């Protein structure tokens, strides 16, 4: 088990409906020392890639992305989930469906911050069915940029998102891949990596 | 001028309606080296305070808060703006009105992450009329915790939020306080600190 799998075993809570609550250290309260460990590990896994920008999506991806960015020395852009009056001018827009919130969102990035010279590492906290991630990939492609890799904290390996993204040929690195969870016993099984 | 005021003069864009766009380095694309400078400055300004938690609000406060947290060695909690099915159990809720979006939001923090032992530094990117900030203060008080200080990147000094918060006796530190802006000339005047 790696550091993140250990932390999920220790502090993650399994709920009915295949819900894994990691809100005490990952996506409501955030353990910055843990995020730094994640940054170091992503640096190792994406070594040699010509990454010049990190792209994430609000809200819970932002903290991880900012800490991880310190290991790549690049700026972070976060995609917004709904139109804001403070974003003006030309925007890239992708429509995605949220598994958590069961609604459709528009994922929006200003055209100023992505172009054909963008070599992008996409970072997010969770990967389940992968709709948000597909929206981010779509936006990088609209900009003519390159997705150099995708770094995820926790992947739900029993949902289809990860398989689809790997089948498309992307280097997808998930620090913990949950194969199964049992709400009755609290047991969590991880995929061997 | 300090480092942030210089950056705002260089890359900030003044729009009609007293809108200051800093989306190329602060709240859409994020310059992590700049955030580290902000962390060092907040560390200096809040030196000696027994801070054990940073509280911010989604989405654009999260990146700054996470980088700043590295200078205080404390976890970050971000308040959510609407009810999510992934937050369960008991929550602190405050109702706030957004200046930017012209709508009312519920600001929500899980009761697990704030209590009477919480000594909180509140961090956010912008302070204008201060409604979001008042909601965060209300939540810390509901928890029986202590607001040790408030660190803001950019304050609009010509709006009432900063004055109200300082009148209430809080140590509010804004790294740049805009006194006036002119959309026609692009000129930005900062308050002497």
Average of per-residue pLDDT across A15-34: 96
Contact A23, A29 (CB under 8 A): yes
Chain A residues with CB inside 8 Å of B110's CB?
23, 28-29
Contact A178, A156 (CB under 8 A): yes
Residue B120 β-bridge partners: B53, B147
Predicted pLDDT of residue B88:
55
Chain A residues with CB inside 8 Å of B103's CB?
none
Tokens representing B80 are: 């959510």
The model's confidence at residue B84, banded by pLDDT at 50, 70 and 90, is very low
Q: Is residue A93 part of a domain?
A: yes
Is the per-residue pLDDT at A103 higher than 80? no
Q: Is residue A24 part of a domain?
A: no
CATH of the domain at B166: 3.40.50.2020
The interface predicted TM-score of the complex, written ipTM, equals: 0.93
Distance from C-alpha of B71 to C-alpha of A164, rounded to nearest angstrom:
40
Strand A103-110 relative to strand A91-98, pairing: antiparallel
Distance from C-alpha of A162 to C-alpha of A156, rounded to nearest angstrom:
8
- Domain hosting A137: range is 35-178
Q: Which of B58, B84, B113 is nearest residue A101 as measured by Cβ atoms?
A: B84
State what percent of residues in chain A have pLDDT above 90.
86
State what percent of residues in chain A have pLDDT above 70.
94
Q: Is residue A40 part of a domain?
A: yes
- Stated pTM of the model: 0.94
> What is the distance in angstroms between the Cα of B99 and the nearest Cα belonging to chain A?
11
DSSP letter, residue A35: H
Q: Which residues make Cβ contacts (< 8 Å) with residue A161, sequence separation at least 6?
A: A127, A128, A129, A130, A131, A133, A155
**Number of other residues whose CB lies within 10 A of the CB of residue A109:** 26
Predicted pLDDT of residue A67:
98
Q: Cα dist. B163→A107, A109, B126, B182 in Å?
A: 36, 34, 14, 22
Average of per-residue pLDDT across A152-170: 97
The model's confidence at residue B95, banded by pLDDT at 50, 70 and 90, is confident
**Number of other residues whose CB lies within 10 A of the CB of residue B29:** 20
Residue-wise pLDDT tens digits, B22-58: 999 999 999 999 999 999 999 999 999 999 999 999 9
Tokens representing A192 are: 């061997």
Q: What b/e string do you get for A58-81 counting C-beta neighbours within 10 Å, with b at 16 or more?
A: bbbbbbbbbbbbbbbebbbbbbbb
- Judged by CB atoms closer than 8 Å, whether chains meet at B28 and A78 is answered as yes
Q: Is residue A23 part of a domain?
A: no
Q: Is residue A13 part of a domain?
A: no
Q: Which of A29, A66, A88 is nearest residue B75 as measured by Cβ atoms?
A: A29
Is the per-residue pLDDT at A144 higher than 60? yes
Strand A172-181 relative to strand A146-156, pairing: parallel
Residue-wise pLDDT tens digits, B151-161: 999 999 999 99
Contact B54, B38 (CB under 8 A): no
Which of A81, A157, A153 shows the shortest CA–CA distance to A123?
A: A153
Is the per-residue pLDDT at B83 higher than 60? no
The model's confidence at residue A85, banded by pLDDT at 50, 70 and 90, is very low
As for how many domains chain B has, the answer is: 1
Predicted pLDDT of residue A97:
74
Q: Is residue A27 part of a domain?
A: no
Q: What's CA A78's distance to the chain center, in Å?
A: 11
Least confident among B99-108, B136-145, B165-174: B99-108
Q: Cα dist. A152→A53, A105, B22, B186 in Å?
A: 16, 20, 28, 41
Q: Is residue A118 part of a domain?
A: yes
């Amino acid at each position: 088990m790696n550091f993140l799998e250990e932390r999920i075993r220790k502090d993650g809570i399994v709920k009915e409906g295949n819900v894994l609550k990691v809100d005490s250290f990952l996506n409501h309260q955030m353990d910055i020392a843990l995020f730094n460990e994640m940054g170091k590990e992503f640096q190792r896994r994406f070594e040699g890639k010509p990454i010049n920008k990190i792209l994430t999506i609000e809200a819970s991806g932002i903290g991880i992305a900012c800490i991880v960015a310190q290991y790549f020395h690049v700026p972070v852009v976060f995609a917004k989930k709904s139109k804001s009056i403070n974003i003006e001018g030309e925007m890239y827009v992708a429509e995605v469906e949220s598994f958590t919130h069961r609604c459709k969102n528009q994922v929006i990035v200003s055209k100023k911050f992505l172009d054909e010279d963008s070599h992008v590492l996409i970072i997010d906290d969770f990967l389940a069915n992968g709709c948000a991630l597909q929206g981010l990939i779509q936006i990088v492609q609209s900009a003519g940029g390159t997705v150099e890799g995708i770094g995820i904290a926790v992947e739900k390996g029993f949902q289809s998102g990860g398989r689809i993204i790997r089948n498309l040929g992307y280097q997808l690195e998930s620090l913990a891949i949950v194969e199964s969870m049992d709400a009755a016993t609290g047991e969590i099984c991880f995929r061997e990596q």
